Structure 1
Amino acid sequence: MKIVIVGNYNEKKAGANFYATVRKLANGFTRNGHAVLSYSDRDIARSASAWGFGRAGVRKANRQLVDVCRDFRPDLIVSMHADQIANDTLREIRGLLPGLRIAAVNLDPIFLPENPPRIRRLADVADITFITTAGETLAQFATPSHRVAFIPNPADRSIETLECFAHENQSFDLLCTIGSEKGTPWRANAMRALKAAVPEARYGFFGIDGQGPVFGAAYFDAIANASMGLNLNRSDDDYLYSSDRLAQFAGNGLLVFVERTSGYGDLFGEDEFAFYEGPGELAEKLRHFLAHDGERQTVAQKGHAKYHALFNERIVARFIAEATFGTHKAADYAWPTNVYGG
Structure 2
Amino acid sequence: MSITVIKPGLMATIQDLGRSGYGKYGVIVSGSMDRFAHRTANWLVGNDEGDALIEVTWSGMSVRMEREMWVALTGGDFSPQMDGVPVPMWRPVFVRKGSTLTFTGPRAGCRTYLAVAGGIDVPEVLGSRSTYIRAGIGGMKGRVLKAGDIIPVGTGKGRLRHPSTKGTQPFDAVRWAVPASERPAYSEHPYVRIVRGPQFGDFDDMSRRALLDHDFRVTPQSDRMGYRLEGPRLQLHRPQEYISEGVTMGTVQVPSDGQPIILMADRQTLGGYPKIAQVAGADLPVVAQTPPGSTLRFREISQTEAEQLWMDQGIRLRRLARMIALKLKEDGWLDGLD
TM-score by length of 2: 0.34
More helix by share: 1
More strand by share: 2
